[in-house]
Structure 1
Amino acid sequence: MTQSNAPAVPASALPPLAPRALLRWRVVRRVMKALAPATIVEVGIGEGAMGARLATLADYRGVEPDPISCARAREVIEPLGGRVANGFLDDVDPGPAPDVICAFEVLEHIDDHRAALADWVAHLPSGAHLVLSVPAFAKRFGPSDVRSGHFRRYDPPMLRTLMEEEGLVGVEVIVYAWPLGYALEAVRNRRDERKLANTEYSITELTAASGRTGQPRSRVLGTAILIGTSPFMLLQRFAKGRGTGLVAIGRRP
């Protein structure tokens, strides 16, 4: 795979990320630099903060089923040369076959996750990679998962087996977000437990809103989050196997 001539964009021009997304991006960026894809397709892009970063690395196409999130994603990704469609993987704008298909914090929202994974793998050409992220460890399922519209969390062996059973090889699962993820999750669980007690939501509504929940809106706040999170981006590499999130990579033979 050969890196495309994606635009060079200063970090200050990109949409801000929430703390856990920053921790995830540190891992994903390392993975993408190792894979060096020319083309990236992302499924379930939310408001496009991660997609905007991916669009600076390669020719980028993304899809998002929630129309509100999709409209926001277009605003931040299309000026960088990426393309965004409202829908699912079959609705991706036509273009070269992807070197990488990504799905960040998507699989846990899907009841039949095996069928979704099989569909993503089917869209991969031979030699291309699937890169995904999910919340880690089933025993940590709590109010923040319920309010986010999650069906489950994943233990690393479970995720590896699921990906291998759908035909991927060379599967690697990286645990991230130690130690900050534990504190972030504790705060969210307390907050979301109260909110769930006072309002009824359907899992469809929760899933649709999940891409908009917790996204920092101002660059000042985004800068403060980046400064506060930066030390933990480094720390998470020193506690392999510990954390609150998983990033997984597999290749279609």
Structure 2
Amino acid sequence: MPLPPLTPYARLRWDVASRLVARALPAEGARVLEVGCGQGAVGVRLAQRHRYTGVELDGASLAAARGRAAAAGVDATLVHGPLDSIDASGFDLVCAFEVVEHIEDDAAALAEWAARLRPGGLLLVSTPAWPSRFGAMDDAVGHFRRYEPVRLAALLAGAGLGDVGTRLYGMPLGYALEAVRNRIASRRLDVREDAVADRTARSGRLFQPSTTVQGAVIAAGTWPFRLVQRAFPQHGTGLIGWGTAPR
């Protein structure tokens, strides 16, 4: 069964994140928690090899995630609500892709996520990079901020994690994708009138491909850029950070 399609930006991000996940979880059957699983494109990929739980605040996105998991034939626990909707802990991996920038108290969120890890477990997050690049799309989808690598690393360390690392991605395609998104968002000034929570809920539904053909075109079109970005880990518009829970 074909996997759910990823957006061009998500393709670039998953090229980096998937290799970090594979290195941290070499064997199948690890316990994985995704905070803010959206429409489940990444969740289905994780659930193929691991025991996966995803939580999502937006009901429409979670319904799409459940449909995708069923279509892919994977066993996934998908929960509608905040993280405290589940009481499980001791996860081998906790991940949150494009979530922390939506949360006003980011330090508290990272500490909460880190607390769900087993000793030695990995927290993996992604977020838009560089405060100077905050633009119309950031505002439209309810971002509180963007991050410099040193700031994200300090927050991960402050959450009690060790072996902290960061890596940028998206060189060079991310710059073009970001410019297009900002251009589109700048034409919709009315969205600023919505509450931040509503803008955040909308963010996971924007620009989402829905068909296998679209996914195949995006995969092929981003392939050379995924190779290029590997040579530029200190450049890009997106940022990935990680750290491990103390043993």
Please say whether Structure 1 and Structure 2 have the same fold, judged by a TM-score greater than 0.5.
yes
Moved more, 210-219 or 14-23: 210-219
Moved more, 39-48 or 76-85: 76-85
Say yes or no: does 1:76 pair with 2:65. Answer: no
Say yes or no: does 1:56 pair with 2:61. Answer: no
TM-score normalized with structure 1 length:
0.91
Residue 199 (structure 2) aligns with:
206
Distance verdict in 2 for CA 1:97–1:220, change over 3 Å = same
Secondary structure (helix, strand or coil) at the match of 2:199 reads: helix
Pick aligned residue for 1:102 from 95, 99, 102: 95
- 2: CA distance between counterparts of 1:133 and 1:231? 21
Deviation at 1:199, TM superposition (A): 6.8
Deviation at 1:223, TM superposition (A): 1.2
Pick aligned residue for 2:8 from 9, 19, 29: 19
Q: What does the per-residue CA deviation read over 1:204-229, in whole Å, with 9 as the maximum and x for residues that have no partner? A: 11101111111101221121111111
Q: Considering only aligned residues, what root-mean-square deviation do their CA atoms show, in Å?
A: 1.5
Pick aligned residue for 1:86 from 67, 80, 99: 80
Deviation at 1:93, TM superposition (A): 7.3
Q: What does the per-residue CA deviation read over 1:41-63, in whole Å, with 9 as the maximum and x for residues that have no partner? A: 10000111111111113111110
Pick aligned residue for 1:170 from 163, 166, 170: 163
Deviation at 1:92, TM superposition (A): 3.2
Residue 218 (structure 2) aligns with:
225
Aligned residues: 241
Distance verdict in 2 for CA 1:198–1:47, change over 3 Å = closer
State, as a whole percentage, how many aligned pairs show the same letter: 47
Pick aligned residue for 1:35 from 20, 24, 39: 24
- Are the equivalent residues in 1 in contact too, given 2:107–2:158 (CA < 8 A)? no
Distance verdict in 2 for CA 1:56–1:196, change over 3 Å = same
Q: What does the per-residue CA deviation read over 1:163-200, in whole Å, with 9 as the maximum and x for residues that have no partner? A: 10111100010100110000000111111011125773
Secondary structure (helix, strand or coil) at the match of 1:224 reads: helix
- Are the equivalent residues in 2 in contact too, given 1:62–1:92 (CA < 8 A)? no
Moved more, 188-197 or 177-186: 188-197
Q: What does the per-residue CA deviation read over 1:121-167, in whole Å, with 9 as the maximum and x for residues that have no partner? A: 11222111101100011111000111111000000000001110111
- Are the equivalent residues in 2 in contact too, given 1:77–1:83 (CA < 8 A)? no
TM-score normalized with structure 2 length:
0.93
Residue 136 (structure 1) aligns with:
129
Residue 183 (structure 2) aligns with:
190
Structure 1 spans left out of the alignment, 5+ residues? 1-9
